[in-house]
Amino acid sequence: MVIQLPSNMHPNTAQAITAILAAYDTENLRHSLMAYPARIKKQREAAYQARKAWEDAELERSTVEAEMLLAISTETDERGKAKYSNAEQRAAELQRRKAADPSYLAAAEKVATAKDALNEAQDTLQMLLDEYQSARMVARLISAEMSVISELAEIGEADEIHGPKMDEALRSLINKEAF
C-alpha cells in the first residue's frame, strides 16, 4: 500500500514527505507488521504440534516403564515368592532394566528429541512475539516523530521559525501525548 500524496501539494513539500517516508522505511515496516500475525499463528501451531509430539513420546516412555515395573513386581523366584520384595529392590531393578532395555532407551531418546523440538518451537514463538512488539513500538515512535516533524513543518511554513511562537509550538509538542 503506497501513500498517495495530494496532487495540489507543493512539489518541495511532496519531495520532503517522500524523503521522510523513505528514510523511515515505513512501507517495509507496514508490510512487516502486517505479516507478523500470520507468522505468529503458524509458529503457535508448530509449538502445539511439538508439544503434542513430546506428550506422545512421554506417554510411550511411561508405558514402557510401567510394563517393566509390572514385570518386576510380578516376577517370582523358584519358590514362588516375589523376587523383589521391597520397594528399594524394585526401584533398583527398574533402574537397571531401564539402562539396558532397548525399547525403553529408544522411547527415552524420542522424549529427549521431542522436548528439544518443543523448546525450539517455544523459543521461536517467543522471539516472534518479541519482534512484533518491538516493531509495533518502532511504528509508534516513528508516528510520534512524524507528528513532531509535521508540527514543525507547519511552523516553518508560517516563516515564524524563531521567537515566542516557536517556543510555544515546541512546548505544545512536548506536552502532547505521543502515544
Q: Which tens digit of pLDDT belongs to each residue from 12-35?
A: 666 766 777 777 777 888 889 999
Type of residue found at 125: L
pTM of the model: 0.69
pLDDT, position 141: 85
The Cα–Cα gap between 140 and 157 comes to 26
Question: Considering the chain, what percentage of its residues have pLDDT values greater than 90?
Answer: 55
Is residue 48 within 8 Å of residue 116, measured between CB atoms?
A: no
Of the listed ranges 72-81, 104-113, 124-133, the one predicted with least confidence: 72-81
What percent of the chain has a predicted confidence (pLDDT) above 70? 75
Give the per-residue pLDDT at 169: 59
pLDDT band at 144 (very low <50, low <70, confident <90, very high): confident
CA–CA dist 117, 50 (Å, integer) = 6
Cite the DSSP H helix spans in the chain. 11-24, 26-74, 87-100, 102-157, 164-175
Which pLDDT score is estimated for 69?
95
Predicted confidence (pLDDT) at residue 4 exceeds the cutoff of 90: no
Q: In whole angstroms, what is the distance from residue 135 CA to residue 113 CA? A: 33
Write down the pLDDT at residue 65: 97
